[in-house]
Amino acid sequence: MSRSNPLSLQNRVAIIGLLVLTAWVVILTIAVNAFVGAQLRSQADDVVRARAQAAATTLQVDPQGAVTIRDNGNDSAIDVGTWIFEGDRIIESPQRASSLEGEAADLAGQGPLTQESAGILWYAQPIISSGVQRATVVTSLPLASYQSTRQSIMAGTAGLALLLLVAVWFTLRAGVGRALSPVAEMTHQSARWSADDVDRRFGPGPRPAELEDLARTLDSVLDRLSAVLRHEQRLSAEISHELRTPVARIIAEVELLQQRDSNDAAITTALGTIAESAREMSQVLAVLMATSMSSNTVSAGRCDATEVLNRVVLTHRVDGIAMRVEPCEPVFASVDAALLERAMSPIMENAVRFAATSIDVTLESKHGVVRIDVRDDGVGIQPEHLDQVFEPGWSRSAAPGRGAGLGLALARRLLVSAGGSLQALPSDHGARLVASVPPG
């Protein structure tokens, strides 16, 4: 998978899953905190009510309506934030709570009543005798500890929710990546097969139903590609076979004409041009035949690439163009010498056609590949044409003696069949073609 693209399917699926889960986690967190807050408030209400009821059990109302406090050993309930009012008169109050006496007095004569003010929960319980409210028990409870508990629970649940979302993000991303990895592997595999071994197929196998559908689709695409390639090879072979004989006859007739004495320079020049064109056509047909007769992948041989390139350079050497091959020592490659020579010949012909004064060929075996770098000092290749030069029939119009546009396409096909590649790379001076083959 694409492993860092933020818009990849892996990231998008993981993000959607995380957003859905985030919504549920937020809802559940709010619900849990609301429930905890309600429970804490209910507990606080129970505490102030219990204190008021305990204080109420210490009161006695006589027939005349006078309120007295019995001494029954339960005075501790009064000492904890509890006031007892007879009308508006305080008959009992807690110690060290004078600052709250005013708020407690506001609740005298009322009840039953619960209210919250400035972080304190108040409860007023009326004492009724003979249908008349004789007294009021007012209790208070600081809510700081309850609020602290609620805040701690909120912070804890928020932290747990965040940790959960982080864990789920990595789990989702890893899970989606693992689920999609067979798709990426099959895609890359089919791409390799389409270039190197178009006869390979996925076929039936133990895989999920979705991947089985993908495998059948890719196999169908490879079937159609294989059929197109077979048709192309057969057509190339048939055309090449039909044209080789008349081309050979043209060359033979021209050579016979050249052996006769002729005083007409124009005729001599024309015959030379015809002979050169016929030989070039013969070479193209030979490459076409070799390509069409070979399969998509060829059995690996072994050769000294330096020796092969020196032979190719010697064959294509022309006056006025310096041609160098470096290094001079052997560089071995896992490819048949004849195939490498046939593949490098169109590349060298292209360099000779466009070079101004020099062609440099550099070999190096590095990182598990033999690279053959061919540079000329000609007009070069425009950046937008770097891939187009390998299309059959395409040729740079600026070339003197423009070719048929098949050489580089055939060279690339031969190199790919040997497990290599051919690229046109940008260069500041002239054209640069880099061929690669497996090391020997």
The enclosing domain of 30 has a CATH number of: 3.30.450
pLDDT higher at 81 or 10: 81
| Res. 284: pLDDT tops 80 | no
* Largest Cα–Cα separation, the chain: 161
Domain boundary residue, one of 241, 267, 295: 295
Q: What is the pLDDT of residue 370?
A: 92
- Most confident among 92-101, 127-136, 189-198, 233-242 (mean pLDDT): 127-136
Q: Name the residue range of residue 401's domain.
A: 303-437
| Res. 148: pLDDT tops 50 | yes
* 416 and 394 part of one domain: yes
> pLDDT digit string (tens) for 169-180?
888 888 877 777
Q: What is the pLDDT of residue 400?
A: 44
* 16 and 133 part of one domain: yes
* 124 and 243 part of one domain: no
> Is the residue at 4 inside a domain?
no
> pLDDT digit string (tens) for 180-235?
777 778 888 777 777 666 677 877 777 777 677 778 888 888 788 778 777 766 76
* 339 and 282 part of one domain: no
User: Before 327, cis peptide (omega within 30)?
Assistant: yes
What average pLDDT does the segment 290-315 reach?
A: 75
Query: Domain holding 361: CATH number?
Result: 3.30.565.10
Q: What is the pLDDT of residue 360?
A: 92
Domain boundary residue, one of 250, 269, 295: 295
Q: What is the pLDDT of residue 89?
A: 85
Query: Domain holding 267: CATH number?
Result: 1.10.287
Q: What is the pLDDT of residue 2?
A: 42
Q: What is the pLDDT of residue 127?
A: 87
* 65 and 113 part of one domain: yes
> Is the residue at 184 inside a domain?
no
Q: What is the pLDDT of residue 1?
A: 41
* 335 and 260 part of one domain: no
Work out whether the CA dihedral 363, 364, 370, 373 comes out positive or negative: negative
| Res. 396: pLDDT tops 70 | no
Buried residues in 185-196 as b, exposed as e (16+ CB within 10 A): ebeeebeebbee
For residue 319, how many C-alpha atoms fall within 13 Å in the half-sphere facing its CB? 0
* 318 and 428 part of one domain: yes
* 236 and 322 part of one domain: no
Q: Domain total for the chain?
A: 3
pLDDT-based confidence at residue 358 (cuts at 50, 70, 90): very high
